[in-house]
Amino acid sequence: MNQYFSQKVNSFHDRETPEEGTLVGYSFLINLLEKEYLQSLPLPDQLAIVTEKHQRYNTKYWQVFTKRHKPKDNIGSHLVFALKYEGIDLFLLKTFFKYSGERQIIELMKKEPTGQYARRLWFLYEWLMGQRLQIADLKTGSYVELLNSKLQYPGLTINSTRHRIKNNLPGVPEFCPLIKRTEKLEQFRAKGLSSTIEKGLSKQDKELVRRTAAFLLLKDSRASFAIEGEYPPSLRARNWGKAIGQAGKKELSILEIERLQHLVIGSKKLKNMGIRKNEGFIGEHDRETLSPIPDHISAKVQDLPILMAGLMETNRLLEKANYDPVLAAATIAFGFVFIHPLSDGNGRIHRYIIHHILAKSGYAKREMIFPVSTAILERIGEYQNILESHSHPRLDLIKWKETPDHNLKIHNETIDLYRYYDLTPQAEFLYECVEDTIIRIIPEELDYLKKYDRMSYLINEQVTLPDNKVDLLIKLLIQNSGTLSKAKRQKEFSELTTEELMKIEMDYKEIWGK
C-alpha cells in the first residue's frame, strides 16, 4: 500500500503530466483500485497531482497542487482531498466503497466525529450503498452543504438530521449525474438567453411569429429524423412536429415516453414497443461473423425499472429546485439516451425531452419552439463526439457475450455506469446549441419570412401568378443568387416579359442585398 502514497509519475493513463508529481485525490483512488481490483475505470476530465514546487495551476487534463496541499499517507486524507478540491464523483466513490467496505468511513468518523468532510463521506457512503453504518446520529454541530456549489451545480437542499448534512445533490440515489461549474457555463448563464428571445419576439408581428414557429417545428422535426439518418414522408414529419409543439404540456412519464415512441415509429410498429425486453447496443455487426461491434451498450433490461424511476424522480426534483433549465434538460435528456430504454426512437425522444423541459420551465416560450435539433444537425460531428466521449470509456467496463441472434448479453453489474457520471461536456454542448438557436436560427427565420413577404408583395403588385408559382419563383431566385435561369424561365415562367422579370430580379437584390 505504501508504494501508492509515494509513487511519482510523469504520465497516467496516457495523460502526460505537466511536470513530475504524486497522484492525489481521485487519481490516487483510481490507481489504487486498478492495481488491486479492476482493469480500468472511466477517468474524470481532470485529475490531480501534487508537485514539489510552490506553483498552483490547471491544464486541460490536470489540476496541479503544491506540496503544502499534499494529503497525509492514508486513504482517508485522499478522500477528503478529493471532496475538497475536485468535487463529488459518485461513480468513483461508490466503486471505492464497494471494495474498501465501511472501515475507512468508520475510522474517519472516530478521528473526526464532527469533521465536515468526514460527515460528507459518511453521508455519501450510506446514500450510495443504501446501508446504515453503526455510527450514532449526530446531536450537535452546524449543518454543512454536501456538494460544494462553487465546484458543481447543486439541487434542492434536503436536511439529513442524522449526519447534520444539507443534501443538495441534484438527483436521487437511483439517478444522479453531476455538472461542474465551469467558466463557459457561467458565461452562458449570465447572458440571460431566455429573456433575449422573449424581448426579440415581443417586437415582432404576432402572425409572423406564428408562421415562423410553424415552419421551425417542421424543420426541427425533419432535422431530428435526419440526425438518425432517416428522411420520413412529410406527414410523419409533420405529426412529430405537432408532438414537439405540445412539449411541456404533459408530465414526463413512462407512459408519455411510450406514447411518443408510437408517434416516432409511425405505422411500422416494432414487435416489442415500449420499454425494452431485450438487451441492446448501438453499433454495427461484423460483416462475416455478424458479431456485435458496439459503440454504446444500453443499460441492462433488469436495471431499467430502477433507472427510469430514478430519471423521473430526478426530473421532479430539479423542477422543484428551479435548477437551470438548460442544465436540467441536459441531465434528463442525455441521461435518457445513455440509458437507451427503447428498442427504437431513443434519439428523437431524447431531443424531445430537451424541448419538453425548456418549454415546461418557461425558458422557451410556447409560441416559439426551440429548433434545437436543427442546431444539433449543424454540429452533427461534435454531437456524435459528445455521445461517444461518454460511451467509449465505459465499454471496457461492461462484460458481455454474443447471443445466438447476434445481440449481446451483459454478465456483470453495470447499473452505476448509467446513473453516476459527469455531464459537463454535454451541458456545455447543449448551451451552445441553445445560444445558436436564439441568436442565429430563430432571427434568421424571422428575417427570411419578412423578406419573403415583401418579395411576394412586390411580385403580386407587378404580375398575376398563383401563390404556389410565386413561392417557386422566390425559391428559384434564392437558389440562383437573385436571377432566374433561361431554362427555368422557359419551363416555369414563360408568361413573364423580359421587363417584368428584370424588375423582379432588381427587387430581389434590393430586399436580399445580393
Low pLDDT (below 50) residues in the chain: none
Percentages helix, strand, coil for the chain, rounded to the nearest 5?
55, 10, 35
Question: Which pLDDT belongs to residue 4?
Answer: 66
Question: Which pLDDT belongs to residue 304?
Answer: 97
Spatial separation of the C-alpha atoms in residues 278 and 272, rounded to whole Å: 9
Question: Which pLDDT belongs to residue 183?
Answer: 95
Q: To 10 degrees, what angle do helices 380-395 and 424-436 make?
A: 170
Query: What torsion, rounded to 10 degrees, do the Cα atoms 122, 167, 63, 47 define?
Result: 60
Contact 128, 94 (CB under 8 A): yes
Question: Which pLDDT belongs to residue 399?
Answer: 93
CB atoms within 10 A of CB 21: 23
Q: How far is CA 156 from CA 159, 308, 316, 376, in A?
A: 10, 20, 10, 30
State the DSSP string of 212-231. HHHHHHHHHHHHHHHHTT--
Close Cβ partners of 46 (under 8 Å, ≥ 6 residues apart): 58, 60, 61, 62, 63, 86
Contact 247, 352 (CB under 8 A): yes
Question: Which pLDDT belongs to residue 398?
Answer: 93
Q: What is the model's pTM?
A: 0.91
Spatial separation of the C-alpha atoms in residues 184 and 433, rounded to whole Å: 13
Would you state the cell numbers that stand for residue 333, as one nine-digit string? 435528456
Question: Which pLDDT belongs to residue 514?
Answer: 63
Spatial separation of the C-alpha atoms in residues 262 and 272, rounded to whole Å: 11
Spatial separation of the C-alpha atoms in residues 306 and 415, rounded to whole Å: 9
Spatial separation of the C-alpha atoms in residues 174 and 59, rounded to whole Å: 33
Which residue pairs, CB below 8 angstroms and at least 24 apart, start in 455-463? 455/507, 455/508, 455/511, 455/512, 458/504, 458/507, 458/511, 459/504, 459/507, 462/500, 462/503, 462/504, 463/495, 463/496, 463/500, 463/504
Question: Which pLDDT belongs to residue 269?
Answer: 67
**φ and ψ of 341, to 5 deg:** -80, -10
Maximum CA pair distance of the chain? 95
- Report which secondary-structure segment, H or E, holds 400: strand 400-402
CB atoms within 10 A of CB 391: 19
Would you state the cell numbers that stand for residue 208, as one nine-digit string? 409572423
State the DSSP string of 121-187. HHHHHHHHHT---S-PPP-SS--EESS-TTTB-----EEETTTTEEE--SSBTTB--B-B--HHHHH
Spatial separation of the C-alpha atoms in residues 199 and 211, rounded to whole Å: 18
Question: Which pLDDT belongs to residue 415?
Answer: 96
Would you state the cell numbers that stand for residue 385, as one nine-digit string? 463526439
User: Counting beta carbons within 10 angstroms of the beta carbon of residue 110, is it exposed (0 to 12), middle (13 to 18) or buried (19 or more)?
Assistant: exposed
Q: Which amino acid is at 221?
A: S
Spatial separation of the C-alpha atoms in residues 265 and 470, rounded to whole Å: 35
456 in helix, strand or coil?
A: helix
Spatial separation of the C-alpha atoms in residues 41 and 421, rounded to whole Å: 12
91 in helix, strand or coil?
A: helix
Q: Which DSSP category does 303 fall into?
A: G
Close Cβ partners of 475 (under 8 Å, ≥ 6 residues apart): none
Contact 48, 26 (CB under 8 A): yes
Question: Which pLDDT belongs to residue 268?
Answer: 67
CB atoms within 10 A of CB 375: 23
